[in-house]
Each structure stands twice: as structure tokens, then as C-alpha cells.
């Protein structure tokens, strides 16, 4: 059935950051006229996937007189990047130790700022959406924004949960600022979940946890990948292992451990393997653990189109997570968009992380990656794959099969369409 969906999120639909790509995959089977989007990040879409976009940033809210605007179609260009203005980068790349304090300040800005303007309300009315697809994330103020819009439009909410901010208790063991913020966030999450007609999650374990906690109907929609990228395992003469993504949550430390293992392999075998790290992170503190390791070369940010080329030209792709307890707790229910893209690339995947993390379990359960679940295993697993091309090919082939089974954009987007259609139908029937 045809319907109109309002996406309410931090990021617009793009192909240049992970959340943007997640939305792109989720709405693969939707026509532009079926989707509009309200978002708050200071960037511009680079793909015209929605019929209309409305943006309100933190700076807009502070201005009070003119808060937000419709994004002009001419502004949607393929060369748009993560930040519309370079000055925004420093503001939005928060250091971890100040994170909750900055989130508190941001909440106050939106609580007292003028965001719910006449222009926004008029835009919402003109779009005539039938259901809200909400991705609120870690910002507690955004839950109120979503509910306010639902009240004004009198339409149901389908909530999207791809990270666990509710069950994680590590923040509650820290200082009073962290405790106060996350207690408030948990209350906001609970309120939205109880109000949601459906909750869509990134994996089955997260769906089960939310269903048990809130009694809400849940559906798993896995992250989707472009299955047209590769039809068979890639053959590469490269000596490069490739990591693409952010270095937050101590992933930098795990990459350093992989780099040192690779350096040891090179010294023992006279080989010249490199770990290339493509990331937009430029914080010197985050990059420091990677410095001085000869086998590691840090590259810059790459666009969506370049990502596919880099993946297919690599010898092995790398996914990693931290072993720190607080980081495990933070990502234990997460399956990165990068997992889907890596499996669909036809290039062999190597993963390093704890079995407690959903992405690592997903790869292990489906036998579609070389996995090291401890520092002492990195070198042996890596060398096994580096020295056996047939094993890399076999694993890549299984990766493609798993991608088709779990991560097809068309398949997963179809599941989401069914969920949203059911909610819209139920709402119209009850009326």
C-alpha cells in the first residue's frame, strides 16, 4: 500500500555516514513521494530520497527568531559531506569526558529554545504523513520533539532502536552528571516505547530485550547492503587490510593491537602487509595509540562511492570492537552497517572483539568471517587467513550468502514497509 512516512532523526538520509546509510537501506523500496524527513544535524542530504526535508539545528534554536528551514532541492548535491560548514565539526565531535555535560546543555537549548515554529507546523501539515518513523538516539530532548509532532499530527509512532541506551548501566556507576543524565534518558526511552505502535530493532536479542521490558510489539530489521556490489568473492593481489569507520569507543586501541600483530607477522615472515584505516576522526588523542606502528597507515574520510571500491580492492576487511567492559555494554546489541556492506563486498572479513557483542556473535554464528575473540588469538587467526587464499575465498563466499539472507536492502526494507503499513492500517481501522 502507498503511505506517507515522516522520518524524525538526527541525520538525513545520505551515503556518507553510517546512520545516513542505514536510513538509505531501510527505505530502499520506498518512493520519494512516500517519505519526508525532519532532522537536526548541521549537514545536507546528498541523495534525494525524500520528497521534502526540514532541518532545525542547535544554532537555529538559539537564534529563536528563525528556527529551521526547508532544504531546497538545489542544495541536495552528491558532493555534500558530513558538515555543511567546517566550523560545526568541533562543536559536534564531543570528547567523551564532556559528553553528558554537553548533552545536558543541548537539552536546555531545545527545552527553552524556539524550535516548534509556525513554519515547521505548516510544513508538517502540508506533508500529511500517516506515521512517524522515529530514531531518537542518545539525546533525551529529542524524545519530546517526536511526541510533540505525533500529538500535533495525531498519528502513530514506530520507534527505531539500533543502539542500546536503556539497558546499559555503566553510566549509572559514574559521576552525578552522568547518573542524572542517563536516569532522565531512561525515563524518556520508556515513555516513547510505551507509546510506540511498533518498535523496530537492529537484531533479535535487542528485540527480545525491549519486548520483555516494555511489552511492546517488536520487529527485527537488519542493516541492509547493496547486493549488486559483488556476485562472487573478490580476487585481489593487494597486501592491504582495510578498516573503514570511526575510532570511538576504544576501537582505536583494538586496531592498535591488530597492527602490532600484523607487524609481528611481517617481521617473522618477511611480508609487507599493511592495515589501512579510513576514518573521519582527527582528534589527536584518539589517533595517538595508532602512531609508531609501522604496519598501520591512517587515511582520511572517504565518500560512499569510494568505500565500495576500497572494500573490493582490499585483501581483507577489518571490523573491531573494544574489550573494555563499558564499551562492550554500549555496543552489545549493535550490528554495524559496516558489517552488512563488508559481507556484501565479496572481500574476506576479519573481526576482533568480544563474544558478548551482537556483531561478533552474528559473524561467528554464521561462519562468515575470521574471528579473534582475544588478543592472544589475533596473530594466529590473521596468519591463517593471510597464508591461505582458499580460506579467504571460502569465507568471502559464505559472507555473500549471509548478506543475501540477512542484509539485502530490498528484503529488509520490505519488512519495514510491512511494519509501517500494518501500523497505518490498524490506525485507520481504529478510527
**pLDDT for 340:** 93
Dihedral over Cα of 63, 66, 69, 74: its sign: negative
Mind listing the pLDDT tens digit for each residue in 350-375? 999 999 999 999 999 999 999 999 99
> Judging by beta carbons within 10 Å of its beta carbon (0-12, 13-18, 19+), is residue 246 exposed, middle or buried?
middle
Q: Encode 102-149 in three state secondary structure.
A: HHHHHHHHHHHCCCCCHHHHHHHHHHCCCEEEEECCCCHHHHHHHHHH
The 10 Å Cβ neighbour count of residue 194 is 10
Mind listing the pLDDT tens digit for each residue in 10-28? 999 998 888 898 999 999 9
CATH class in words for 240-406: alpha beta
For residues 179 and 145, the model is more confident at 145
First to last CA, the chain: 18
Q: Which of 63-67, 195-199, 325-329 shows the lowest per-residue confidence on average (mean pLDDT)?
A: 63-67
Q: Whole-model pTM?
A: 0.88
Q: Where in the chain is the domain with CATH 3.40.50.2000?
A: 5-224+408-430, 240-406
What phi and psi, each to the nearest 5 degrees, are found at residue 68?
A: 90, 170
CA-CA distance, 263 to 273, in Å (whole number)?
A: 8
**pLDDT for 90:** 59
**pLDDT for 97:** 47
- Closest among 337, 304, 315 to 234, alpha carbons compared: 315
- Closest among 199, 201, 116 to 151, alpha carbons compared: 116
Q: Which of 12-21, 156-165, 236-245 shows the lowest per-residue confidence on average (mean pLDDT)?
A: 12-21
CA-CA distance, 371 to 352, in Å (whole number)?
A: 6
**Which three cell numbers mark 5?**
512516512
Is the pLDDT confidence value at 176 over 50? yes
**Which three cell numbers mark 398?**
559464505
H/E run at residue 98: none
Task: State mean pLDDT over 202-228.
Answer: 92
**pLDDT for 215:** 94
**Which three cell numbers mark 215?**
511489552
**pLDDT for 173:** 61
Which residue has cell 555516514?
17
CA-CA distance, 117 to 298, in Å (whole number)?
A: 44
- Contact between 47 and 13 under an 8 Å Cβ cutoff? The reply is yes
Write down the mean pLDDT value for the chain.
91
Q: Is the CATH number 3.60.40.10 carried by domain 5-224+408-430?
A: no
Instruction: Tally helices (H) and strands (E) across the chain.
Output: 17, 14
Task: State mean pLDDT over 92-102.
Answer: 60
The region that residue 130 occupies, defined by phi over 0 for left and psi between -120 and 50 for alpha, beta otherwise, is alpha
- Contact between 223 and 340 under an 8 Å Cβ cutoff? The reply is yes
Is the pLDDT confidence value at 84 over 70? no
**Which three cell numbers mark 199?**
518498535
CA-CA distance, 10 to 141, in Å (whole number)?
A: 12
CA-CA distance, 184 to 189, in Å (whole number)?
A: 9
pLDDT bracket for residue 228 (50, 70, 90): confident
- Contact between 136 and 163 under an 8 Å Cβ cutoff? The reply is no
- Contact between 134 and 192 under an 8 Å Cβ cutoff? The reply is yes
Task: State mean pLDDT over 376-384.
Answer: 98
What percent of the residues of the chain are helix, what percent strand, and what percent coil, each to the nearest 5?
A: 50, 15, 35
Amino acid at each position: 500500500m502507498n503511505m506517507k512516512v515522516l522520518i524524525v532523526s538526527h541525520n538525513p538520509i545520505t551515503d556518507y555516514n553510517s546512520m545516513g546509510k542505514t536510513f538509505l537501506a531501510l527505505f530502499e523500496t520506498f518512493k520519494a513521494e512516500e517519505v519526508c524527513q525532519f532532522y537536526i544535524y548541521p549537514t545536507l542530504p546528498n541523495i534525494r530520497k525524500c520528497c521534502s526535508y526540514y532541518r532545525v539545528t542547535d544554532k537555529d534554536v538559539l537564534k529563536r527568531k528563525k528556527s529551521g528551514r526547508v532544504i531546497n532541492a538545489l542544495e541536495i548535491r552528491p558532493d555534500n559531506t558530513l558538515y555543511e560548514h567546517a566550523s560545526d565539526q568541533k562543536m559536534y565531535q564531543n570528547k567523551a569526558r564532556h559528553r553528558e555535560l554537553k548533552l545536558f546543555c543541548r537539552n536546555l537549548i531545545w527545552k527553552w529554545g524556539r524550535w516548534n515554529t509556525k513554519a515547521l507546523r505548516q510544513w508538517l501539515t502540508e506533508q500529511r504523513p500517516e506515521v512517524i518513523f522515529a530514531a531518537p538516539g542518545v539525546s533525551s530532548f529529542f524524545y519530546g520533539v517526536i511526541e510533540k509532532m505525533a500529538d500535533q499530527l495525531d498519528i502513530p509512532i514506530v520507534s527505531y532502536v539500533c543502539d542500546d541506551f536503556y539497558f546499559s548501566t555503566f553510566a549509572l556507576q559514574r559521576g552525578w552528571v552522568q547518573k542524572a543524565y542517563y536516569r532522565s534518558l531512561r525515563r524518556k526511552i520508556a515513555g516513547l516505547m510505551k507509546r510506540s505502535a511498533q518498535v523496530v530493532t537492529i537484531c533479535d536479542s535487542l528485540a527480545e530485550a525491549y519486548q520483555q521490558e516494555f511489552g511492546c510489539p517488536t520487529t527485527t530489521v537488519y542493516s541492509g547492503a547493496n547486493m549488486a556490489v559483488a556476485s562472487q568473492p573478490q580476487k585481489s593481489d593487494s597486501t592491504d587490510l582495510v578498516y573503514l569507520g570511526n575510532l570511538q569507543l576504544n576501537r582505536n586501541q583494538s586496531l592498535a593491537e591488530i597492527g602490532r600483530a600484523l607487524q609481528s607477522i611481517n617481521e617473522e615472515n618477511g611480508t609487507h602487509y599493511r592495515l589501512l584505516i579510513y576514518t573521519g576522526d582527527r582528534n589527536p588523542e584518539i589517533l595517538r595509540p595508532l602512531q609508531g606502528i609501522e604496519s598501520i597507515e591512517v587515511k582520511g574520510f572517504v565518500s560512499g562511492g569510494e568505500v565500495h571500491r576500497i572494500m573490493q580492492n582490499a585483501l581483507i576487511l577489518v571490523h573491531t570492537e573494544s574489550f573494555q567492559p563499558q564499551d562492550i555494554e554500549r555496543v552489545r546489541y549493535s550490528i554495524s552497517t559496516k558489517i552488512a556492506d563488508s559481507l556484501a563486498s565479496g572481500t574476506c572479513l576479519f573481526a576482533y572483539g568480544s563474544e558478548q557483542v551482537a556483531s561478533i556473535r552474528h559473524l561467528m554464528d554464521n561462519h562468515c568471517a575470521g574471528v579473534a575473540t582475544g588478543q592472544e588469538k589475533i596473530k594466529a587467526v590473521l596468519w591463517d587467513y593471510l597464508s591461505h587464499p582458499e580460506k579467504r575465498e571460502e569465507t568471502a563466499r559464505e559472507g555473500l550468502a549471509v548478506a543475501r539472507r540477512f542484509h539485502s536492502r530490498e528484503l529488509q526494507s520490505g519488512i519495514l514497509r510491512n511494519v509501517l503499513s500494518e501500523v497505518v492500517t490498524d490506525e485507520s481501522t481504529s478510527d
